[in-house]
Homo-oligomer: A and B are copies of this chain.
């Protein structure tokens, strides 16, 4: 096991009808900016619950944060928050609203000349505005981590950044808020959580047996609970399981003391930035191809994954590894998320285009930093 530091100060308030607890969770006497997305919270009753809990607080609203939150949109929120002397941010929505609000929290007190540096160069932060969250879409884990992914359409860029100042003070997770989600968003959430775990697990063994089992716990739960998660009408326990899995998948715990490989996310971000496919869709395409391309380096963990997650214990090692990768792709397709670029109308030139971008930036990905431009092209050829 490698040395590590683990510190996650976010308070999770989980369960039925917990939004009312915002009354005591949001610090008394603060002036709150309530951030949200396209307005679905106004149709499903979440907005009303939040406003009821915030009676007595001064509230400024900022709606319209889009999926893959845009720098330009968020900078408008920053301007508004500065003008109105906000001192607490409350994000109500999915990962995009939470991520966008983290950027707002970082940018409000930022004194550098260009706030885009926070995203593009992880510019150091001296402080950040405190924020809380009400999660309505289980997927990204943003509710319990200090990271965010921000996009800039004008330059077709999508980058991740993070800072320990950006852990939400609290996050309210009420599985009932997920009942109105369209099926494809639930499916994307399953894929996103599953891939988050794989990117912290599917590397090479470092004698960290508990972390392996904790990662497998999430993977097995997602596989076994998927029939309950996608039930119509919604099943409370299924939705609760997805919500808690997605949070646990990316709150830092399973990364303790082990190597990680974020190649799938990094390549996926490019697909979203250039072709506009959903984040979950991009992961479902890239992850199986990364596993296939890196099968030698990831051999030991692929074998362990085959046995423990998919129950594949028969056949040659190579056959077991291939079967596990096939089962992974089949799992994504089974929830309705296709796994080939062609399924989304993306031609094979994507590989060329993304590998050129990586060459320009000198990007090196994977747990051994061996995935550069040409390897990325080869990976994308495997999922064309």
Chain A positions near chain B (C-beta within 8 angstroms): 1-16, 18, 207-211, 213-214, 216-218, 220-221, 224-225, 237, 240-241, 244-245, 248, 253, 256-257
Given contacts A210-B244, A213-B220, A256-B244, contact A8 B5 (CB under 8 A): no
Query: Are A221 and B213 interface neighbours, CB within 8 A?
Result: yes
Contacts A209-B225, A248-B210 given: A6-B1 contact, CB under 8 Å?
Answer: no
Nearest CB of chain B from residue A273's CB, rounded to whole Å: 32
Per the bound structure, the CA–CA distance linking A8 and B10 in Å amounts to 8
Decide if B9 touches A9 in the complex (CB within 8 Å): yes
Residue pair B256, A14 in contact (C-beta under 8 Å): yes
Give Cα A9–Cα B16 distance, bound, in whole angstroms: 24
Contacts of A213 in B (CB 8 A): 216-218, 220-221
Q: 24 interchain pairs (CB within 8 A)? A: A1-B237, A1-B244, A3-B14, A3-B15, A3-B16, A3-B18, A4-B12, A4-B15, A5-B11, A6-B12, A7-B9, A7-B10, A207-B237, A207-B240, A209-B221, A209-B241, A210-B244, A213-B217, A213-B221, A214-B214, A214-B217, A214-B248, A216-B217, A217-B217
A14 touches B210 (CB 8 A): no
Query: In this complex, what residue of B is CB-closest to A11?
Result: B7
- How many Å from the CB of A176 to the closest CB on chain B? 11
| B14 contacts A257, C-beta separation under 8 Å | yes
| A16 cross-chain contacts in B, Cβ below 8 A | 3
